[in-house]
Amino acid sequence: MNTIPGTAPEDLRNRLVDAILQEDVSGLRDAGVETAMRTVARHAFLPDTAVEEAYANKSVTIKENPDDDALPLSCASQPDVVHFMLVQLAVREGDNIFEIGAGTGYNAALLKHLTGKSGQVTTCDIDPDVTAYTRRMLDTNGYEDVRVVTRDGALGASRFSPYDRMIATVGMWDLPDAWWDQLAVGGRLVVPLRWRGLSRAVAFQREEKVMRSDSVKMCGFLPVIGQDGEQNDYIDDDRLVRLYWDEDQSIALALLRDVLTRPKSVAWTDVTVGPVESFDGVWLRLSATERTTCRITAKPAAMKAGLHRPASPALSPALVEADSLAYLALERTAEDPEGEPRFRLGAVGYGAAGADLAERICAQIHAWNPARTAEPVVTAYSADTPDSDLANGAVIDRPSVRLVIAY
């Protein structure tokens, strides 16, 4: 194991936790989680990683994907995300916990620390290489009592249920039926949930017939194997601009093949952001109001070829209707060129309905502006719930659940 000369791992660990709390990205705090992260040695679960890397606030790959164009198969999650998701989970002493996505075993060790001697932790992964690594790391570090099972996490582990807490450390597109069956009423589920091209760590409280969120935070996770409900393809002949959408959306890609060559409409608002201010809440607002919300990505060559730059070329929200498209955009304002830069938000539309779509994006920018940190409520219902029993909001259908996103 590599170390920094003269620097103890305990010092690095405390510095990492101090930095997470100081930056306070999520706004979530819990003394028990803080103590757990100061106690459990992350570097011990990453024996092939330099200690300074183990205590950097970033993810660490533990199993690469043989496909060069694909994401890794397993990672140790970024520590600040680990922190706020554990706060969302609100573990109590004695809880019975199920984790989907075993990873290094570090998160399971934190869960065991939180639930104490009287609690139980079961972690699972579909990949036997990953679970073998997890088992070895947990045993090496004194967590022999944590269960490790090799199976599809969507199936849960009914043998050890019901669970008081369930947490997924892989991106989920659906909430499997088995989770409903195995999570006790009154229990909590924290899951990186994907919808309309975005990903959020959603903390659900399990009620008798629904799961209702009380915390929705930005995150990014490797997608779970076996849930392929998100579609994607290029919309230009040069393969520079790609669209991502959900299978429940009526998007005909053939109608969009030449959309970026059609007349362009640009609409700006008077809403501005600084260089480090997040405007991601606009996307959430769109997902709660516009059924056609999806995601667009553009390679640098697309802007060089004349595409109006999306707000974030790597991932920006977009609206699509028939043969028209619009997406979120920003540009630096001309005010006070010597001061801190400000950027105004707007939208760019292409096609016959592009101007209307751009104005609809601007409407959600204005709705977001006075309440920038407001979070939607995500309510999950069983897939057979009739429309009449759903709360008001945007309905997103999945094989196992009906999601309602509302402000």
**Which residues are marked as active site?**
77
Residue for token pair 């920003």: 330
Beta bridge partners of 100: 124, 168
309-326 burial, b at 16+ Cβ within 10 Å, e below that, comes to bbbbbebbbbbbbebbbb
Please answer whether residues 270 and 365 qualify as being in contact, where contact means their C-beta atoms are separated by less than 8 angstroms: no
> Based on C-alpha coordinates, what's the Rg of the chain?
22
Measured CA to CA in angstroms, residue 29 lies from 115, 146, 159 at distances of 17, 25, 33
Residue 320 and residue 294 in contact, taking contact as beta carbons nearer than 8 Å = yes
**What's the one-letter identity of residue 353?**
A
Residue 130 contacts residue 99 (beta carbons within 8 Å)? no
Give the residue among 345, 359, 354 at the shortest CA–CA distance from 260. Answer: 354
Q: Please check whether residue 77 is in contact with residue 71, taking contact to mean a CB–CB distance below 8 angstroms.
A: no
Closest CA to 130 of 101, 107, 109, 110: 101
| Displacement of CA 375 from its chain's centroid (Å) | 14
Exposure of 384 in the CB half-sphere (CA atoms within 13 A): 2
* Helices 79-89 & 31-39 angle (0-180, nearest 10): 140
- Residue 367 DSSP one-character state: H
Distance between CA atoms of 289 and 70, rounded to whole angstroms? 32
